[in-house]
Amino acid sequence: MNRRSLFALAAGAAMVAFAGTAAAWPTRPITMVVPWGAGGGTDATARVIGSLLEKELGQPVNVVNRTGGSGVVGHTAIATASPDGYTLGIMTVEINMMHWQGLTKLTHENYTPIAIYNIDPAGVQVAADAPYKSIKDLLDAIKANPGKLKASGTGQGGIWHLAIAGMLKDAGIDPAAAPWVPSQGAASGLQDMVAGGVQVVPCSIPEARAMLDAGKVRSLVIMDGKRNPVYPDVPTLKEATGSDWTMAAWRAVVGPKGLPKEVTDKLLPALKKIHGSKEFRDFMAKQGFGVFWAEGAEATAFLTKSNTALGDVMKAVGIAK
């Protein structure tokens, strides 16, 4: 009896130990932290990935919005979570910007990148009734009257602010010649432009899509190496002015630093399968999001390059501390 109960105890302990290792991951629901609000692009893609991941892994994936602090709060929540595979998150381009502004000490090195799944290049939008027919017209107008044309589309020092500042600098114009009006996001910036409050909104094409289709705004240029297939008439900046300047927002699935190999070995193939699935592709195409894929060393190289490039521009235009 005694020996048998001892055996049972040992077996039980072994089972607990087994369940405790990540080998059987996932054995309970997974939390997916989104550093931005419900309804935005990051939230939308996270929820689609979450519901597809649920089917792949057989465990519920709860998408949780940890908003505020221009992304600092949510990114911190992911980085400081226990690296057991039960807290994952979506990391966005801002992780490579916030630390240059002195808002946080976190960089992309505080995370385990699984895969970068989306890239949206910046565009340059003006109101449909504006006199600027090409990016050259707009740049000339900014150069002729510094400070007169105002731009908007995200918070102070945000990704689209950086996009236009870098473009102006590359064209030999003072980045301060188009003062930035902070806004809650691209949608409110576009609305303000149509209402006549600002003149330029350098946001991504998917964000401006409804207004483009409604004929309320015009897209002059896209800051990317190639044209957007949905809007093939919009030239790239290189084609229009010869400038090599590009800027894009990206999104990645990550975990806290030190995610065990057992977790990544199971998570990466699942994500890869989702990324290739018809549901995901249809969703991204319908919303106009750019599909992209980078994993492992390639992802790390991408992040390091993005970090250096953003830091250089932020210092050059005077946003970095």
Partner 1 sequence: MDALLTAFGLVLDPYVLLVIAGSAAFGLFVGAVPGLTATMATALLVPVTFFMEPVPAIAAIVTATAMAIFSGDIPGCLVRIPGTPASAAYTDEAYAMTRKGQAEQALGAGLVFSALGGIFGSIVLVLAAPALAEVALRFSSFEYFWLVCLGLTCAVFISTGDPVKGLISLFLGLSVSLVGLDNPAGYPRLTFGSIELLGSVSFIPTMIGMFAVSEIIRWAASPGAAPFHVQNNIGNVFTGMGRMMVTYRRQLLRGSVLGTLIGALPGAGADIAAWIAYAMSKKLSKEPEKFGTGHPEGIVESGAANNAAVSGAWIPALVFGIPGDSITAIVIGVLYMKGMNPGPTVFMNNAPQLYAVFIVFFIANLMMLPFGWAAIKAAKQILRMPRSVLMPIILLFCIVGSFAINNTAFGVGLMLVFGIVGYLMESNGIPVAPAILGLVLGALLEDTFVSSMIKSDGNIWGLFERPIAGTLGAVTLLVWFAPLLIRTMRRWQAPAS
Report the distance separating Cα 126 and Cα 136, nearest Å: 13
Stretch that binds partner 1, among 177-185, 218-226, 236-244, 299-307 (CB under 8 A): 177-185
Q: By CB under 8 A, is residue 300 in contact with partner 1? A: no
Q: Strand pairing partners for 34?
A: 65
Cβ–Cβ under 8 Å, residues 254 and 78: yes
311 binds partner 1 (CB under 8 A): no
Among 136, 143, 150, 227, binds partner 1 (CB under 8 A): 150
Q: How many residues bind partner 1 (CB under 8 A)?
A: 60
Residue 141 lies near partner 1 (rule: CB under 8 A): no
Among 25, 26, 32, 66, binds partner 1 (CB under 8 A): 66
Q: Which of 73, 240, 270, 316 binds partner 1 (CB under 8 A)?
A: 73
Contacts of 275 (CB under 8 A, 6+ apart): 115, 117, 291, 293
Beta carbon nearer to partner 1, 17 or 195: 195
Shortest gap between Cβ of 70 and partner 1 (angstroms)? 5
| Among the listed residues 26, 32, 36, 70, the single contact to partner 1 using CB under 8 A | 70
Among 146, 173, 270, 283, binds partner 1 (CB under 8 A): 283
Footprint on residues 217-276 left by partner 1 (CB under 8 A): none
Taking alpha carbons only, the member of 125, 306, 115 closest to residue 214 is 125
Q: What letter represents residue 231's amino acid?
A: Y
**Going residue by residue from 195 to 214, which x/- string records binding to partner 1, judged by CB under 8 A?**
xxxx----------xxx-xx
Q: Pick from 72, 91, 115, 126: which binds partner 1 (CB under 8 A)?
A: 72
Site string for partner 1, 20-59 (x = CB under 8 A): -----------------xxxx--xx--xx-xx--------
Rounded to an integer, what distance in angstroms lies between the CA atom of residue 313 and that of residue 188? 25
Buried b / exposed e along 95-130 (16+ C-beta atoms within 10 A):
bbbbbbbebbebbbebbbbbbbbbbbbbbbbbbeeb
Q: How far is CA 305 from CA 27, 256, 277, 299, 308, in A?
A: 36, 20, 29, 10, 5
Residue number, 64 or 240, with CB nearest to partner 1: 64
Closest CA to 151 of 316, 141, 229, 108: 141
For residue 26, is the peptide bond before it cis, meaning its omega torsion is within 30 degrees of 0? yes
Q: Measured from the CB of residue 64, what is the shortest distance to partner 1 in angstroms?
A: 5
Residue 147 phi/psi, 5-degree rounding, is 90, -10
Between 91 and 237, name the residue whose CB sits nearer to partner 1: 91
**150 vs 272, which CB is nearer to partner 1?**
150
Q: Which residues contact 123 (CB under 8 A, 6 or more apart)?
A: 202, 203, 204, 205, 208, 219, 220, 221, 222, 223, 228, 234
Q: Is 32 helix (H, G, I), strand (E, B) or coil?
A: strand
Residues interacting with partner 1, by CB under 8 A? 37-40, 43-44, 47-48, 50-51, 63-70, 72-73, 76-77, 101, 103-104, 147, 150, 152, 155-158, 179-184, 187-188, 190-192, 194-198, 209-211, 213-216, 279, 283, 286-288
